[in-house]
Amino acid sequence: MAPKSKPTIIDVARVAGVSVTTVSRVLNGGKYVSPDKLVAVQEAFDKLDYQPNLHARSLAGERAYMIGLLFDDPRGDYLSGMQRGTLLAGQKAGYHVLVELLGRTGTLAQMKRLISRVRLSGVILTPPVCDHTSLLNTLVRHNIPAVRISPSSDFPGIPSVKIDDYAAATEMTRHLITLGHRKIGFIIGDLEHADARERQRAFNDALAKAGVEARPEWVAEGGYQFSGGLTAARKILSQPDRPTAIFASNDDMAAAVIAVADEMGLRVPTDLSVTGFDDTSLASAVSPALTTIRQPVEQMAMKAVEILLERISGEKPEIETPVMMGTKFVRRGSTGPAPK
Amino acid sequence: MAPKSKPTIIDVARVAGVSVTTVSRVLNGGKYVSPDKLVAVQEAFDKLDYQPNLHARSLAGERAYMIGLLFDDPRGDYLSGMQRGTLLAGQKAGYHVLVELLGRTGTLAQMKRLISRVRLSGVILTPPVCDHTSLLNTLVRHNIPAVRISPSSDFPGIPSVKIDDYAAATEMTRHLITLGHRKIGFIIGDLEHADARERQRAFNDALAKAGVEARPEWVAEGGYQFSGGLTAARKILSQPDRPTAIFASNDDMAAAVIAVADEMGLRVPTDLSVTGFDDTSLASAVSPALTTIRQPVEQMAMKAVEILLERISGEKPEIETPVMMGTKFVRRGSTGPAPK
DNA sequence: ACATTCCCTGAAAGCGTTTTCATATGACGG
DNA sequence: CCGTCATATGAAAACGCTTTCAGGGAATGT
């Protein structure tokens, strides 16, 4: 069977016995359409199995029904989870998602090229591109609605969704203290990211508040990478007086700590407790599985889309403070009571 | 500064002193355009910083400059790597990428809706949607170029890119045999997937060829999941006479084997060698790191895009046999000599 | 009764491209 | 010197929608 050419709005109009204008009105909310014609048009939609053409709509109107999802790199549990959330939420609202990679260099030029080539209803910005200031400025200047997920810095005029890193890291630190640990190490994430700084601040504050000593030689930077975590863990664990627990700022680095402990013949959690952060799939695949903090990655993205759609539809509640999403402490096998 | 409205092809035509037709011709390959006008138009492009509007092009012409990337679920190293490859290759060719989630149910309806809403130059199909037969039929019927990545089954008329699972699994099995293992277990992937069956077949053949006994009680199914791997590993390792090595059909299940070994006090690789497959990020994060097979995931996607673009531009070399990409054996710490 | 408003309705003018179609020019073979 | 052909060029007609504009009728106010 020949792929019968797709029905257009004109066909619908003919079948429904109305003008294309009326059909268009039905398509866009049905305001100023009498009930009987409304029904007639909808019947025609069904009968013809009509789907409006996105390109024509974008060309002719204001709306685009397409949201841009901007990445530096889509790999990794964290980011692909965000993608899934975006896709799910966007799909539900009848939007399509255009994914674009914004390389390390020439980001701005790429963005400009993108928005002059395709009309986007709005964009979702994932880390780290959500912190590219001139990119954000460009978006504002072109009046393109945007929402940032887990941004590091503040930026007026663009809403954002994030988690409360401070609270979560506080909870995690308290967990270790409650288990009896008094010698606790810490592996810092990528200091470029505000969340890395927040987690560290919470750690320090929690120690101080509990009257637990914080030793600088038990702190090292791992850049959120497994490899960096390896180096950091080796540095910390090779101290003559070593900690009985290490709080790594993310799961990858926590896995690295476990690897190093293994290397050195330390048993986890008997000799050393280890904690992660994020609850990526790695957290449960490693043995022992990581005690960690679960981020509601997909929900964050869905929330971001929700906010974006509000912005698009003109309702601008002008939320300037980031929307905070709740995290969940997940206890697994990598933490245990402090050794005597 | 006000966001000066984007230049159109008309502006370019005026600046270059030619007709829009000529500008359009330059945009589409510059055939039948005299050298001087060609230069004039290109200068106008630069001067105005012109970018052609995608929606208008799609609406008016045959081409769409947009490729669809179809997922069941974009999460996981494997799939997000494919996405990156697609994005990279697409971007380089000036194409944009629309990502769509095709749920478990209603896939076909979703696809039909998609293609009647937006014009796609072609689509890339990732597993498992690349095996959805009626979806493939629809694509063919609508004459939409497509390429499948790592499909399980054959489908005439749609090219595909995959790895040689049989050869890779053979190499892996030989590796274990060479290390002296004679009691080798195997964890099967998801039998729905042809690759799972291929890997098992290679394993069996390699054992047979080497005259090594294959014991059914050392084989279990793990469904390519960590959790399934856990169950499978427990079943195999709880045998009174247990194997000295286990070949898991992917990294997730291999990590599960390590977890179970840990549980049972078996040292890897001293007491038990473990191998994975895929070389996802998990493979190096686990300790000991996994001996595994690296799949060139990104390159596969890039190759798929390349083939797709050839199809789109009309060159139809009509490749019916899948394009095979090379894998790489990666030796890490999880395998060692068989215990005495 | 008459203006004023509000709800419907459709004709027609875009939106920014690509694609015919028509025409012009120069080159070429006989 | 005349058809034929390949190369250049632009005017104008799509492509499938949204939006503006200009009524027409019914309801409301005076």
Task: Quote the percentage of chain B above a pLDDT of 90.
Answer: 89
Question: How far apart, in whole angstroms, are the C-alpha atoms of residue A6 and residue A1?
Answer: 14
Question: How far apart, in whole angstroms, are the C-alpha atoms of residue B145 and residue B158?
Answer: 8
How do residues A145-172 score in pLDDT, each as one tens digit? 999 999 988 899 999 999 999 999 999 9
Cross-strand bridge partners of residue B245: B184, B273
Question: How far apart, in whole angstroms, are the C-alpha atoms of residue B283 and residue A36?
Answer: 63
- Asked whether the beta carbons of A252 and A246 are under 8 A apart, the reply is no
Spatial CA neighbour of A184 closest among A212, A205, A162: A212
Neighboring chain A residues of B73 at a CB cutoff of 8 Å: 84
pLDDT for residue B231: 97
Strand locations in A76-233, DSSP E? 96-101, 122-125, 146-149, 160-163, 184-188, 219-221
One DSSP character per residue, B220-265 reads EE-TTSHHHHHHHHHHHHTSSS--SEEEESSHHHHHHHHHHHHHTT
Q: pLDDT band for position B296 (50/70/90)?
A: very high
Question: Which nucleotide has its C1' atom closest to residue A10's CA?
Answer: D16
In this structure, which amino acid lies at residue B166?
Y
Residues 61-100 in B having a C-beta less than 7 A from any atom of strand C are 61-63
- Asked whether the beta carbons of B200 and B188 are under 8 A apart, the reply is yes
What is the DSSP secondary structure assignment for residue A160, as one 8-state letter? Answer: E
φ, ψ for residue B102 (rounded to 5)?
-105, 105
Question: How far apart, in whole angstroms, are the C-alpha atoms of residue B148 and residue A113?
Answer: 30
Element (H, E) at A293: strand A292-294
For B66-163+298-325, give the CATH class.
Answer: alpha beta
How do residues B253-266 score in pLDDT, each as one tens digit? 999 999 999 999 99
Question: How far apart, in whole angstroms, are the C-alpha atoms of residue A297 and residue A276?
Answer: 16
Question: How far apart, in whole angstroms, are the C-alpha atoms of residue A307 and residue B31?
Answer: 47
pLDDT over 80 (residue B315): no
pLDDT for residue B197: 95
pLDDT for residue B105: 81
Tell the burial category of A136 from Cβ atoms under 10 Å away from its Cβ (0-12, 13-18, 19+): buried
* CA-based nearest distance B284→chain A, Å: 9
Cis geometry, peptide bond prior to residue A35 (ω within 30 degrees of 0): no
Within 13 Å and on the Cβ side, how many CA atoms surround A315? 6
- Mean pLDDT estimate for chain B: 94
What is the DSSP secondary structure assignment for residue B219, as one 8-state letter? Answer: E
pLDDT for residue A4: 64
pLDDT for residue A1: 45
How much is the average pLDDT of B195-203? 96
Helices (H), A239-338: 251-264, 281-285, 297-312
Point out the residue among B55, B71, B226 whose CB comes nearest to the CB of A55: B55
Buried residues in A267-305 as b, exposed as e (16+ CB within 10 A): ebbeebbbbbbbbbbbbbbbbbbbbbbbbbbbebbbbbb
Spatial CA neighbour of A100 closest among A134, A123, A127, A76: A123
pLDDT over 90 (residue A31): no
Helices (H), A144-222: 165-178, 194-210
pLDDT for residue B29: 86
In this structure, which amino acid lies at residue B281?
S
DSSP helix/strand/coil, A135: helix
* Residue range(s) in chain A whose domain bears CATH number 1.10.260.40: 9-52
pLDDT over 90 (residue A108): yes
* Residue range(s) in chain B whose domain bears CATH number 3.40.50.2300: 66-163+298-325, 165-295
Spatial CA neighbour of A124 closest among A155, A97, A154: A97
Q: Is the CB of B18 under 7 A from strand D?
A: yes
Give strand D nucleotides closer than 7 A to any protein Cβ. Answer: 7-12, 14-20
Cβ pair B281:A285 closer than 8 A = no
pLDDT over 60 (residue A3): no
Spatial CA neighbour of A292 closest among A204, A197, A163: A163
Residues 6+ apart with CB under 8 A from B186: B200, B203, B218, B219, B220, B246, B247, B248, B249
The residue behind tokens 């601008």 is A316
Cross-strand bridge partners of residue A329: A293
pLDDT over 90 (residue B340): no
pLDDT over 60 (residue B97): yes
| Architecture of the domain delimited by A9-52 | Orthogonal Bundle (1.10)
Residues 6+ apart with CB under 8 A from A175: A275, A291, A329, A331, A335
Q: Is the CB of B9 under 7 A from strand C?
A: yes
pLDDT for residue A237: 97
pLDDT for residue B103: 82
Point out the residue among A75, A87, A114 whose CB comes nearest to the CB of B84: A75
How much is the average pLDDT of B18-28? 95
pLDDT over 80 (residue B5): no
Question: How far apart, in whole angstroms, are the C-alpha atoms of residue A41 and residue A22?
Answer: 8
Write down the CATH number for the domain with range A66-163+297-324. Answer: 3.40.50.2300
Higher pLDDT, A308 or B3: A308
DSSP helix/strand/coil, A228: helix
pLDDT over 60 (residue B282): yes
Task: Quote the percentage of chain B above a pLDDT of 70.
Answer: 98
Question: How far apart, in whole angstroms, are the C-alpha atoms of residue B290 and residue B282?
Answer: 8
Q: Is the CB of B285 under 7 A from strand C?
A: no
Answer CATH for A165-295 from 1.10.150.120, 3.90.1300.10, 3.40.50.970, 3.40.50.2300: 3.40.50.2300
How much is the average pLDDT of B25-41? 92
* Residue range(s) in chain A whose domain bears CATH number 3.40.50.2300: 66-163+297-324, 165-295
Give strand C nucleotides closer than 7 A to any protein Cβ. Answer: 7-12, 14-20
- Mean pLDDT estimate for chain A: 94
